[in-house]
Structure 1
Amino acid sequence: MKKLTYFTSEFVSPGHPDKVSDQISDAVLDACLADDPNSRVACEVFCTTGQVVVGGEITTTTYIDIQDIVRRKIDEIGYREGMGFDSNCGVLNAIHSQSPDIAMGVDIGGAGDQGIMFGGAVKETPELMPLAIVLAREILVRLTKMTRSKELAWARPDSKSQVTLAYDENGKVDHVDTVVVSVQHNPDVTQEQIREEVIEKVIKPVLESYNLDPAQVKKFHINPTGRFVIGGP
């Protein structure tokens, strides 16, 4: 009997609450840098039902319209009225200037109070990332494109994927063990249609593009809770 080791990675879509917050804070940074390349931006975003809170410390010489940035980004992500979250939400701007004590360490060209981040690369994929995270990401890239193009007309912006790979004793991929996809949907579509279309139109083409046999997948879990109409923040 083969001795197998299992490795799992997860990825979320642009409509996932964590990613909504990330994209808004990135958009605030982009708006600052567009007019003032020397901007210093520490921007955090919190999203919940009907409300976005933008806070943090910003040092810049330009004016940015937080309300407009937030609403444009929510529209771009794809949230519309009736989905439980859309660009008509409340927006609270809690941005203020940087602490003068922290600024002292930055104004002279230092790195302030920041730490050091590090990581590594693997040869498993052309992207130099572990295969499980690449597959989880590519599944959501494909799903998001099909959602926005209306090819999957029932799909809504919030989704998540998870891929588990089985490795043999030599560290080589033996097979794809499990694929999980949870995708927000309109209330009229059946779970059978969601399962069939996600597996056939989204998952299988991605696995095949990486020379993996979809027939060897042990388990597909598509919307395992059975319903995902209200999603997002």
Structure 2
Amino acid sequence: MPKQNYIFTSESVSEGHPDKVCDRISDAVVDLFLAQDPYARVACETLATTNRLVIAGEVRGPKSVLEQVEDVARAAVRDIGYEQEGFHWRTLDFACHLHQQSADIAVGVDAAGAKDEGAGDQGIMFGYACQETPALMPAPIHYSHQILKRLAEARHSGAVAWLGPDAKSQVSLQYENGRPVRATSVVVSTQHGESVSQEEIRETVRRHVLEVLPPGWMCPEDQFYVNPTGRFVIGGPDGDAGLTGRKIIVDTYGGAAPHGGGAFSGKDPTKVDRSAAYAARYLAKNVVAAGLAQKCTIQLSYAIGVSHPLSVYIDTAGTGQVDEDRLADVLRQLMNLSPRGIREHLGLNRPIYARTAAYGHFGREPEADGGFGWERTDLVDALRRAF
């Protein structure tokens, strides 16, 4: 029987974390190509370190787009807020090593004759949903994200001028009878200006944490850690090198559900690492929203060049109201899980990815232009009818 009483912890990192800077730039490049050609192919990796950005990868799309990559990368750094001596959007050194996609990959992925478009790679992808929060996300990662989003809003608005772009949060929650009931500890580290006192930082952070956590959930004072090292002035890529794709657990469910291993950022939607993970979350969320289960984990698997998924696995952790095998069959009837089917159903061939790079790819509000469309719950009625 699953454990019912325990403490579970998840972390988040801000848009100014070195790895998230790289995710943002890689996704901005994806958006740049998709804005010019909805069927462009992009696999973009970014490295950031002290006053230096390096972009590499494979693309297929209008060659003229390559001339805009540097401007897009610098704009992303500026939007995040880096104008520091060790990392400044205007003065950093920039190198771009994007080149044409491998013809061997293209021939397997492209549709031709009677052959449908195949998956861009092999792999396994997971989606998850649960009833712990209104967003149907696990509570520890949800609140970790929200704390950093509040701090970022205060920084961007100028309400707290001394906040820097780089920050991390970590929330530990006590579960009783399988439900979160309170925080046992909260950790927040945030980059700050030279002159601000640690006491002011602590009280500012406390205010935002209290706004995020449900009433009465705040941890004991001796378990509230703010900038535990005592100083965090040097941050971002100046303090630590960043790479695309190193925060995959932050991007998904905070460790509360499995992860297939593939990163999302920098990849166009023919890459099932990204699109099939979005599809799995979409289906799992609709299952929970329809009341068919309190928790739902879905695994999809693919082979490079093959259009259909090799397997569809569903686990409702003993909370399901319907047969899981029957549920898998119904979901495959409601959604075409080929790479093309996923892209068309969720509207993924659009420049909607830079906004996903920080504060999680899941648990966000669907947007009018198709952003976070995988968070819709438009299959609820059909699922209820089917059962």
Residues 21, 9 of structure 1: CA spacing in aligned structure 2 closer, same or farther, 3 A cutoff? same
Q: What are the ranges of 5 or more consecutive residues in structure 2 without an aligned counterpart?
A: 112-116, 238-387
- Tell me if structure 2 keeps the 8 A contact 1:10–1:133: yes
Find the residue that maps to 2:54 and give its secondary structure. strand
Partner of 2:93: 90
- Once residues 206 and 67 of structure 1 are traced to their aligned partners in structure 2, the CA distance between those partners, rounded to angstroms, is 37
Matching residue's letter, 1:204:
L
2:83 maps to 1:80 = yes
Matching residue's letter, 2:79:
E
**1:2-81 matches, cutoff 5 A:** 4-64=5-65, 65-81=68-84
Find the residue that maps to 2:7 and give its secondary structure. strand
Matching residue's letter, 1:175:
R
Aligned equivalent of 1:186, options 181, 193, 198: 193
- Once residues 215 and 14 of structure 1 are traced to their aligned partners in structure 2, the CA distance between those partners, rounded to angstroms, is 25
Partner of 1:163: 171
Matching residue's letter, 1:183:
T
- Once residues 231 and 130 of structure 1 are traced to their aligned partners in structure 2, the CA distance between those partners, rounded to angstroms, is 29
Shift, 1:215, TM fit: 6.3
- Once residues 103 and 27 of structure 2 are traced to their aligned partners in structure 1, the CA distance between those partners, rounded to angstroms, is 24
- Once residues 81 and 173 of structure 1 are traced to their aligned partners in structure 2, the CA distance between those partners, rounded to angstroms, is 40
More displaced, 107-116 or 221-230?
A: 107-116
- Tell me if structure 2 keeps the 8 A contact 1:176–1:218: no
Residues 7, 100 of structure 1: CA spacing in aligned structure 2 closer, same or farther, 3 A cutoff? same
Aligned equivalent of 1:227, options 228, 231, 256: 231
Partner of 1:203: 209
Q: TM-score by structure 2 length?
A: 0.56
Shift, 1:217, TM fit: 6.2
**1:60-139 matches, cutoff 5 A:** 60-64=61-65, 65-82=68-85, 84-87=86-89, 88-108=91-111, 109-139=117-147
Find the residue that maps to 2:146 and give its secondary structure. helix
**Count of equivalent residues:** 226
- Tell me if structure 2 keeps the 8 A contact 1:77–1:157: yes
Partner of 1:141: 149
How high is the sequence identity, in percent, across the aligned residues?
Answer: 49
Root mean square deviation, CA, Å: 1.6
Shift, 1:66, TM fit: 1.4
- Tell me if structure 1 keeps the 8 A contact 2:182–2:218: no
Structure 1: 4+ residue segments shifted above 4 A: 215-218
- Tell me if structure 2 keeps the 8 A contact 1:14–1:20: yes
- Once residues 78 and 155 of structure 1 are traced to their aligned partners in structure 2, the CA distance between those partners, rounded to angstroms, is 10
- Once residues 185 and 66 of structure 1 are traced to their aligned partners in structure 2, the CA distance between those partners, rounded to angstroms, is 30
- Tell me if structure 2 keeps the 8 A contact 1:35–1:62: no
- Tell me if structure 2 keeps the 8 A contact 1:32–1:62: no
Aligned equivalent of 2:183, options 171, 176, 181: 176
- Once residues 133 and 20 of structure 2 are traced to their aligned partners in structure 1, the CA distance between those partners, rounded to angstroms, is 24
Partner of 2:283: none
Shift, 1:213, TM fit: 3.4
- Tell me if structure 1 keeps the 8 A contact 2:33–2:40: yes
- Tell me if structure 2 keeps the 8 A contact 1:36–1:62: no
Shift, 1:174, TM fit: 3.4
- Tell me if structure 1 keeps the 8 A contact 2:139–2:180: no
- Once residues 77 and 107 of structure 2 are traced to their aligned partners in structure 1, the CA distance between those partners, rounded to angstroms, is 36
Matching residue's letter, 2:178:
G
